[in-house]
Amino acid sequence: MTDTIETSATISEASAVENGAVLFVPLNKLKKSPRNARKTPHSEAHIEALAASIAAKGMLQNLVVEPETNAEGEPTGFYFVTIGEGRRLAQLLRVKRKQIKKSEPIRCVLDTENDATEISLDENVTREAMHPADQFERFRELAEDRGWGAEEIAARFGVTAHVVRQRLRLGAVSPKLMQVYQEGGLSLDQLMAFAITEDHDRQEQVYESLSWNREPSIIRRDLTRMNVAATDRRAIFVGSDAYAEAGGTIIRDLFTEDRGGYFEDATLLDRLVIDKLEGIAARVQAAEGWKWASVHIDFPHAHGMRRTYPHPVDLSEEDAAAYGAAQEEYDRLSSEYEGYEELPDEVDRRFGELEAEIERIDAKRHAYDTDEIARGGVFVILNHDGTARIERGFIWAEDEAPKSSDVEGAAIAEDGEIVGDEGSCEDAQPQPDDEDAGDAGKPLSDLLIRDLTAHRTLGLRLALGEQPDMALVAVVHALAAQTFYRGGEASCLEIRLTSAYLASHADGIEDTPVAKALADRHTGWASDMLRDVADLWDFVTGLDHASLMALLAHCAAPTVNAVRVPWEQRPDARATAEKLASVVTLDMTAHWTPTVQSYLGRVTKAHILAVVQEGVGDEAAERIAGLKKAEMAQAAEQLLAGTGWLPPVLRTARPASLDAEPETFVQAAE
């Protein structure tokens, strides 16, 4: 293209000017050239950016145009835009937004000598875009030198504020790493991974420690290894606002979905958790009167204390009357508004008040003894879901009440047996028998009592074996005595409960949702138990059949042990465990998911690929086949999320009643 003539002309003077002259052409007289080399339209984002740039800084580049002519070769008064179609569209966007008029004069350069198709192609081919690193650093300079915020920069360049923040974060990466990026030693994805933190020393340290595997996920993992994810229960409990107010910094990944970022200072976060738990513990202790309250992030399972539970108590006349009135009004409103799809606001609000009142009074139906409260304490701990959990009724051994004595003065020992004072039992040593001397008040000998009670035991065995219903009651009584009472020697059935300590086999298992559900069920039953184990028989015999069976199931459940250990060979027990899982239709997909920690990080790469192949498909397995194990495990965790895949050892055999169906295993991965 020839040099531009340094004179300018209006459109009315165009016929008098030469090639290369500058014209001011009304926007509505400009058209897209049919010979424009770009056939793929400009993106909306690009037009938006151009419009913002022009609005802030004016037209930095002239349009190149040629006159439109009719069939006879005469000018029509319109001009084709050979170079600068994007800027023309940007100006039209500004017209649409009423920023300029449609007749706004646009500065153009006239070109009547060069081939329009060629120069249009040349414009797009012979230019080189700025290196992204230069762009990132220039954005940072605008923020630092001119004090512009992300929103102001975004408005001047037609991008979102989020994009500006991303570029500013990239511009703040360590200069050493930026140089590596400019020289081609890092990809943009890798640079974005380093930008998760602004700590240059940490960035450089992780860069130096990287092996051949420099995948972005590995970089992010190493940079956040000492931080706490915002999804962690501690972060949920404290909250980002409280953590920030305490001086904590939250690292946010502007380039991926980080679900709230990472809390940088784990020590500070733990301290805030303890502080908040201590506040809750102080309020509970003051309100309820416990002797002590102790806070822990994790429940101290090895506390060695006896636990008591609240006992059923009768409501006061006042509470009973209030409960009856609230329940009556609730039932009346439920009947009155039964067919309504949406309740009026005042009715909905009243329902909420009544529900709260009923729940408040219901809570009074169970209470701890004042003596137990005076001697016992509470644990306030952090639950698995990031909420505070209050566990009440723990009593240290030194705070136990003195053992009560029976009518003969025999104390109840720790194991539940009756022990008398030294020398109190006259029959402790065999006494000479004088058949002629008679004393009807003299106790029977131990030998005779053993003989007689052996016969009675035999009779009881025969009778109980003929009465299944009473046998069920006796078994439940024996199990409940051991499950809920100290000592557990209240039954004449020599049935012993044992429960394997699962925490010795799987770390953290006692703080899982499943363990919490079991603990809640136990607490519910314990709250229904009578205070004295001597009254347990009457309690059990008073249960309806459904409740009796439910109590039996609860007491039996902790005795299940299906753990496999290499030094213990129990093939028959293992087979029984499989049958039990089948008949109860155990579905482990509700309780376990394959994660890096639970499974994928603990097996070989071959296992991981086989898992993904089975749970997701061959194509997914092929995509991750070339990754290093750590990254492969993380990728597999994401791929398997929601599929319900289970390792064979956790799958449940189908019940025999379903053998007619084709599948052998319940595989939630399908």
For range 179-200, the mean pLDDT: 87
Render pLDDT for 566-608 as a digit per residue (tens, 0 to 9).
777 777 777 877 888 887 888 888 888 898 888 898 889 999 9
Contact (Cβ atoms closer than 8 angstroms) between residue 94 and residue 55: yes
What is the dihedral sign for C-alpha 561, 564, 566, 569?
Answer: positive
Cα–Cα distance, 650 to 578 (Å, whole number): 10
pLDDT score, position 276: 96
Quickly count: other Cβ atoms within 10 Å of residue 372's Cβ. Answer: 22
Protein fold of 8-125: 3.90.1530
Residue among 70, 69, 85, 73 nearest 33 (CA): 85
For range 409-416, the mean pLDDT: 35
DSSP string, 510-578: GGSHHHHHHHHHHHHHHHHS-SSGGGHHHHHHTS-HHHHHHHHHHHHGGG------TT---HHHHHHHH
pLDDT score, position 487: 60
pLDDT score, position 488: 58
What percent of the chain is modeled with pLDDT above 90? Answer: 27
For range 133-158, the mean pLDDT: 82
Statement: residue 323 has pLDDT above 50: yes
Which of 50-59, 521-530, 542-551 bottoms out in mean pLDDT, i.e. has the lowest?
521-530
pTM over 0.85: no
Q: Are strands 8-10 and 22-26 parallel, antiparallel or unpaired?
A: parallel
Quickly count: other Cβ atoms within 10 Å of residue 196's Cβ. Answer: 25
pLDDT score, position 380: 95
For range 644-663, the mean pLDDT: 71
Query: Which regions of 3-94 does DSSP assign to beta strands (E)?
Result: 8-10, 22-26, 30-32, 63-69, 75-83
pLDDT score, position 597: 83
pLDDT score, position 656: 60
For range 404-431, the mean pLDDT: 39
pLDDT score, position 339: 81
pLDDT score, position 9: 53
Cα–Cα distance, 61 to 343 (Å, whole number): 64
pLDDT score, position 215: 82
Q: Which residues contact 612 (CB under 8 A, 6 or more apart)?
A: 620, 621, 624, 636, 639, 640
More confident residue, 158 or 588: 588
pLDDT band of residue 669 (cuts 50, 70, 90) is very low
Contact (Cβ atoms closer than 8 angstroms) between residue 597 and residue 637: no
For range 469-482, the mean pLDDT: 86
Domain ranges of the chain: 8-125, 164-269, 314-366, 467-559, 572-666
Render pLDDT for 110-127 as a digit per residue (tens, 0 to 9).
998 898 888 888 877 877
More confident residue, 439 or 167: 167
Q: Which residues contact 404 (CB under 8 A, 6 or more apart)?
A: 411, 412
H/E element holding 234? Answer: helix 233-238
Structure tokens of 111?
Answer: 């070109």
Helix axes 175-182, 200-209, angle to 10 degrees: 50
Render pLDDT for 272-322 as a digit per residue (tens, 0 to 9).
999 999 999 999 999 999 999 999 998 887 788 888 888 888 889 999 999
More confident residue, 521 or 511: 521
Q: Name the DSSP letter for residue 344.
A: -
Cα–Cα distance, 164 to 152 (Å, whole number): 10
Residue 353: strand pairing partners: none
Q: How far is CA 38 from CA 49, 86, 104, 332, 635, in A?
A: 18, 10, 25, 74, 40
Judged on CB neighbours under 10 Å (0-12, 13-18, 19+), 148 is middle
Tell me the chain's radius of gyration from C-alpha atoms: 41
pLDDT band of residue 659 (cuts 50, 70, 90) is low
Q: How far is CA 300 from CA 62, 378, 394, 500, 558, in A?
A: 75, 12, 12, 18, 19
Render pLDDT for 71-107 as a digit per residue (tens, 0 to 9).
888 889 999 999 999 999 999 999 999 999 999 999 9
pLDDT score, position 666: 40
**Whats the size of the chain, residue-wise?**
670
Residue among 79, 73, 63, 51 nearest 22 (CA): 63
